[in-house]
Amino acid sequence: MANVTVIGAQWGDEGKGKIIDWLANRAEMVVRFQGGNNAGHTIVVGDKTYKLSLLPSGVVQGKRSIIGNGVVVDPWSLLDEIARVSAAGLKITPEILVLAENAVLVLPLHRELDAMREEAAAQKIGTTKRGIGPAYEDKVGRRALRAIDLMDPATLPGKIERLLAHHNVLRRGFGHPHADADALLKALSEIAPKITPFLGSSWRELDAAKRAGKRVLFEGAQAVLLDIDHGTYPFVTSSNTVAGQAAAGSGVSPRDIGTVLGIVKSYTTRVGEGPFPTELKDDTGERLGARGNEFGTVTGRKRRCGWFDAVLVRQTVITGGVDGIALTKLDVLDGFETIKIATHYELEGKKFDHLPADANLQARIKPVYESLEGWSESTRGARSWAQLPANAIKYVRRIEELIGAQVALLSTSPDRDDTITVKDPFVGR
Ligand code: GDP
Ligand code: IMO
Ligand code: MG
């Protein structure tokens, strides 16, 4: 099966949505396998812009789209999103969209707990306040409600009681009133008939696709540096974002996830708190943010910006399982006289060729840069390698050398078609 798995290789917002939409043209199925509506994937097609949080990016091209079991799903948010994209002209029916029956639900009490914690914390994570962390906690704690539970609302009261026994203790601790069990039951009973038509089996869909020789595209959200195991803990999201999760989060063999494409921005950004060695809190950082339009898709927060950090991406290529990369937003660097790349870190005379696991060290290490000559020409909208200035090519080649992975795709604008193919990811590793 010539499948492709797309993951973010930095701190998110690398342009996964754009690349997945572009690849979806040649896939028959698109599958989300982790995260929830903390994701914001932007797809630009001509004069239309779609912002997707829960819906797999395959819906833009009308491809069969699966929300896998590894995703945590806020059903109200899902319906809002369906309404929003339907108004923009997309058709979201049970023929297009399947929601895994064993996916965990994000409830209003998860959003509330997320917000209570963020507000009370001295050291905030800077979450999206969508309830993602609390929902995954309940999943692992074996007390979560799942999509399948909506099929039989008569069983909900007992499940809600079990869940609230846990949550009400936490809420009391924060000085908040208990959650209203009756209101939750009513809300879930009301939404159930709107969600259940989409329920299905992710693993069976994928098994059927495999038997029929169909191509599947696995869509990651967030990115490896936000991975609960491999990211900058505790400033991470609450799921595994590495390629291996595509298998567990959808119900396929790890052998069937295909070529792993890491999406890499030509510089670095991060939303929320946490270490960021190459962050630029100066005019250059502002310039990157302004040229790259670096504002969060979900929360509208300003993204922190900095130079490309080759140490981080060299590491995420390994931990994420990346076979090749899609390098995005090269056009944002147009016009910079000098462009810097961090090649390693230093602290108190000691050299680091990787990001140390200790959060304290992560906050203190200093990047060591090499400088490359920029280019004054525009790369925006370039659709062939030949259209790129020599210094832009040098920059790309140097990144490949430093991270130990090759560029398969290069993106030069938000638009779907402004993409250069160097090596077709569907052809294999
Ligand atoms: P995702 O979360 O990884 O899907 O990325 P987001 O959609 O949150 O953020 C990426 C932003 O960059 C979006 O606004 C895209 O439209 C935009 N974008 C993607 N690729 C390019 C590119 O090559 N050049 C420019 N200038 N913008 C891009
Ligand atoms: P996409 O898929 C960038 C960040 C939040 C916060 C941390 C934890 O669009 O790349 P959470 O709400 O998940 O508990 O927040 O993770 N974060 C993202 N940053 N892009 C995303 O998704 C993100 N999803 C979560 O800002 O720092
Ligand atoms: Mg995003």
CA–CA distance, 187 with 284 (Å, rounded to integer): 48
Provide the whole-model pTM.
0.98
Euclidean distance between CA atoms 429 and 414, whole angstroms: 26
Cα separation, 399 vs 240, whole angstroms:
25
Rounded to whole angstroms, how far apart are CA atoms 357 and 349?
18
Q: Please list the pLDDT of the chain residue by residue as tens digits (429 residues).
A: 489 999 999 999 999 999 999 999 999 999 999 999 999 999 999 999 999 999 999 999 999 999 999 999 999 999 999 999 999 999 999 999 999 999 999 999 999 999 999 999 999 999 999 999 999 999 999 999 999 999 999 999 999 999 999 999 999 999 999 999 999 999 999 999 999 999 999 999 999 999 999 999 999 999 999 999 999 999 999 999 999 999 999 999 999 999 999 999 999 999 999 999 999 999 999 999 999 999 988 888 999 999 999 999 999 999 999 999 999 999 999 999 999 999 999 999 999 999 999 999 999 999 999 999 999 999 999 999 999 999 999 999 999 999 999 999 999 999 999 999 999 999 977
Give the pairing of strands 259-265 and 97-100: unpaired
Number of Cβ atoms within 10 Å of the Cβ of 162: 13
Q: How far is CA 374 from CA 93, 336, 341, 420, in A?
A: 48, 5, 12, 20
Q: How far is CA 337 from CA 305, 311, 340, 375, 398, in A?
A: 18, 23, 10, 7, 17
The protein residue whose alpha carbon is closest to atom 13 in ligand 2 is 237
User: Residue of the nearest CA to atom 8 in ligand 1?
Assistant: 13
CB-count burial class (<10 Å; 0-12, 13-18, 19+) for 417: exposed
- Quick check: 327 and 399 in contact, CB under 8 A? yes
- In DSSP terms, which residues pair with 146 in a beta bridge? 104
- What distance in angstroms lies between residue 384's CA and the mean position of ligand 1's atoms? 19
Beta carbon of 9 within 6 Å of any ligand 2 atom: no
The reported pLDDT for the residue numbered 223 is 98
Name the DSSP letter for residue 330.
G
The backbone region for 199, taken as left when phi is positive above 0, alpha when psi lies in -120 to 50, beta otherwise, is: beta
Ligand 1: centre distance to CA 2 (Å): 26
Report how far ligand 3's centroid is from the alpha carbon of 13 (Å).
4
Nearest atom within ligand 1 for CA of residue 293:
14
Tokens of 290: 């302004």
The structure tokens 């833009």 sit at 60
The model's pLDDT over 61-88, given as tens digits with 9 standing for 90+, comes to: 999 999 999 999 999 999 999 999 999 9
Residue whose CA lies nearest to ligand 2 atom number 3: 12
| Cα atoms in the Cβ-side hemisphere of radius 13 Å centred on 275 | 21
For residue 299, the model assigns a pLDDT of 84
pLDDT at site 296: 87
Residues with CB under 6 A from ligand 1: 8, 12-18, 40-42, 44, 297, 328-329, 331-332, 411-414
- Active-site positions read 13, 41
pLDDT at 428: 78
- Rounded Cα distance between 308 and 313, Å, is 9
C-alpha of residue 389 to centroid of ligand 3, in Å? 29
Per the CB < 8 A criterion, the answer to whether 105 and 74 are in contact is yes
